[in-house]
Amino acid sequence: MRSLNGRLLIAASVVLVAFLSLTGFTLDRAFRDSASSAVRDRLQAQLYMLLGAADLDAFNRLSLPQSLPEARFSTPDSGLYADVMDNQGNLVWRSPSLLGLALPFFPAVRNPGDTQFAPLESSNDTPLFVLAFTVSWETAPNQYRLYTFRVAETQWNFRDQLWSFRRSLWGWLLASTGVLLAVQGAILRWSLKPLRQVAAEVTDIEAGRRTELSGSYPEELQPLTVNLNALLRHAHAHLDRYRNALGDLAHSLKTPLAVLRGALENSAPDEELRHTLSEQVERMNRTVDYQLQRAAASGRIALSAPLPVAPVARKILDSLAKVYASRAPQLQCEVTASTVFYGDEGDLMEILGNLADNACKWCHRQVVVRAHPAAHGDRMELVVEVEDDGPGIPAEQAPLLLGRGQRADPTVAGHGIGLAVVRDLVEEIYYGRLDISRGALGGALVRARLRFQANGG
């Protein structure tokens, strides 16, 4: 079963049909019981009437008058019959309506006061309800005889009632089943409409007719569409970044190439040519390095699982401890275990690695790496700080080092391309901010604020 619509429809229909059939059977049963007890009550009343009319005749035998209050006992084949048996089973009296018929031999004479009721068939196979009642009749003082009074009625009336009830009952049930199924189908179509809409919009996105999903979705679908949109935006940003990087790269290689061509055309002396060549090659190398690192940044913010910062910081510091083993700087990591980063591990390594590497280069003895979460409006921030006890960075040099206002070819000696790469990562990919200031240890304090949505998505 591959369609949600189909699944829901089948499941709901099965439940509905089962429920309605059960209801039908229960109602049918209840009606039948109440109709048959009505018949019994009626027969009981007739029986009491007969008892009231019965009397002893001259020979001390039980007899009933010719005309009974109930005319149907006197009309042959009227559908209402009665007879009286003595305790030997001999018929003492039978109603005129029983002309040519006999009530079935039921029930056997029992104890006085017993009542029995049963559906039975007459001698000509007419279905009947029979009610029997045994009485003890005082024929003489202290002389009692047992008589069984029996009253019977045909079932035709009862069956007609039952069938007409059943017809209307099942008719209504079927009709309501149909209506409910139709309503349910309509509800399903209506409820699943957003899913069809998503599919249609995704098709539109594929075809390039729209760039992202519209925002008006039910809240159950919101996480899906919001994340899908984030993914789409991320893919777009990625593409844009590649495009920009390629443009920047081509652009920034043009200048050294022009310088080289100029040097060739001027037929400068060998020494000068060599100098220009090495200078421009170095410049091109830096540019390529920088653009490569920028392009490598993945910025996988959308849909990333929280990544604990402490192990990454630990790895970076362990690596730097090895690289700077001869200077043996004191590397301190102040990151709590619960601090997390929503993004790509490679990006975090790049940020921490470059900052800590610079700090190690410039530090006197001590480097501290800190990271802690902070709230920024409805978004979460991860604040990463790297501090050293080196000479520090003069305030007027900071913007230069961060390469603000220039996109490529950051050729500041010493800090290399590291800071510029970190700035790009922090500000362009994680929508944060990179600041340089003077720390408590006296050296440079570089602080990166990385921003995520509150749910981390």
Partner 1 sequence: MRILIIEDEAPLLQRVSTQLREQGYAVDTAADGRTGLYLGQEYPLDAAVVDLGLPDLSGIEIIRRWRAAGRPFPILILTARGRWQDKVEGLEAGADDYLVKPFYLEELLARLRALIRRTGGWSQAVLACGPIALDTGAQQVTLAGQPVELTAYEYKLLEYLMLRAGTVISKTELTEHLYQEDEDRDSNVLEVLVGRLRRKLDPDRTLNPIETLRGRGYRLRLERA
SS3 state of residue 450: strand
Contacts (CB under 8 A) with partner 1, residues 264-303: 285, 289, 292-293, 296
Distance CA 420, CA 3 (A): 52
The region of 146-154, 238-246, 314-322, 361-369 touching partner 1 under the rule CB under 8 A is: 314-322
For 298, the token pair is 């993945």
Q: Give the count of residues interacting with partner 1 (CB under 8 A).
A: 22
The region of 7-15, 97-105, 155-163, 320-328 touching partner 1 under the rule CB under 8 A is: 320-328
Distance CA 322, CA 410 (A): 28
CB of 289 to partner 1, least distance (A): 6
CB of 286 to partner 1, least distance (A): 11
Q: Which is nearer to partner 1, 134 or 354 (CB)?
A: 354
CB of 255 to partner 1, least distance (A): 20
Q: Which is nearer to partner 1, 131 or 312 (CB)?
A: 312
Q: Which is nearer to partner 1, 316 or 426 (CB)?
A: 316
Q: Which is nearer to partner 1, 39 or 352 (CB)?
A: 352
The region of 49-57, 117-125, 312-320, 427-435 touching partner 1 under the rule CB under 8 A is: 312-320
With contact defined as beta carbons under 8 Å apart, do 248 and 291 qualify? yes
CB of 285 to partner 1, least distance (A): 6
CB of 265 to partner 1, least distance (A): 27
- Counting other chains too, the contacts that 97-106 makes at CB distance below 8 Å and 24 or more residues apart are 97/72, 97/73, 100/76, 101/77, 101/126, 103/128, 103/130, 103/150, 103/152, 104/128, 104/130, 106/130, 106/132
Handedness of CA 288, 290, 291, 295 (dihedral sign): positive
CB of 269 to partner 1, least distance (A): 24
Q: Is residue 240 within the footprint of partner 1 (CB under 8 A)?
A: no
- Pick from 34, 88, 206, 322: which binds partner 1 (CB under 8 A)? 322
Q: Which is nearer to partner 1, 21 or 285 (CB)?
A: 285
Backbone angles phi, psi at 452, to 5 degrees: -135, 165
Q: Which is nearer to partner 1, 119 or 311 (CB)?
A: 311
Q: Which is nearer to partner 1, 2 or 322 (CB)?
A: 322
CB of 339 to partner 1, least distance (A): 19
For 29, the token pair is 């049963």
Q: Which is nearer to partner 1, 98 or 333 (CB)?
A: 333
**Amino acid in the structure at residue 274:** R
The 8-class DSSP code of residue 424 comes to: I
Distance CA 197, CA 217 (A): 9
CB of 281 to partner 1, least distance (A): 9
With contact defined as beta carbons under 8 Å apart, do 427 and 434 qualify? yes
- Strand partners of residue 139: none
Distance CA 406, CA 299 (A): 21
Backbone angles phi, psi at 272, to 5 degrees: -70, -40
CB of 295 to partner 1, least distance (A): 11
- Pick from 315, 364, 407, 438: which binds partner 1 (CB under 8 A)? 315
Binding mask 324-363 for partner 1 (x = CB under 8 A): -xxxx----------------xx--xx-xxx---------
CB of 331 to partner 1, least distance (A): 14
Q: Which is nearer to partner 1, 38 or 292 (CB)?
A: 292
**Amino acid in the structure at residue 83:** D
Q: Tell me the DSSP string of 393-413.
A: --TTTHHHHTTTT--S----T
Distance CA 246, CA 291 (A): 8
Q: Which is nearer to partner 1, 209 or 322 (CB)?
A: 322
CB of 455 to partner 1, least distance (A): 27
Q: Which is nearer to partner 1, 416 or 439 (CB)?
A: 416
Give the interface with partner 1 as residue ranges (CB under 8 A).
Answer: 285, 289, 292-293, 296, 315-316, 318-319, 322-323, 325-328, 345-346, 349-350, 352-354
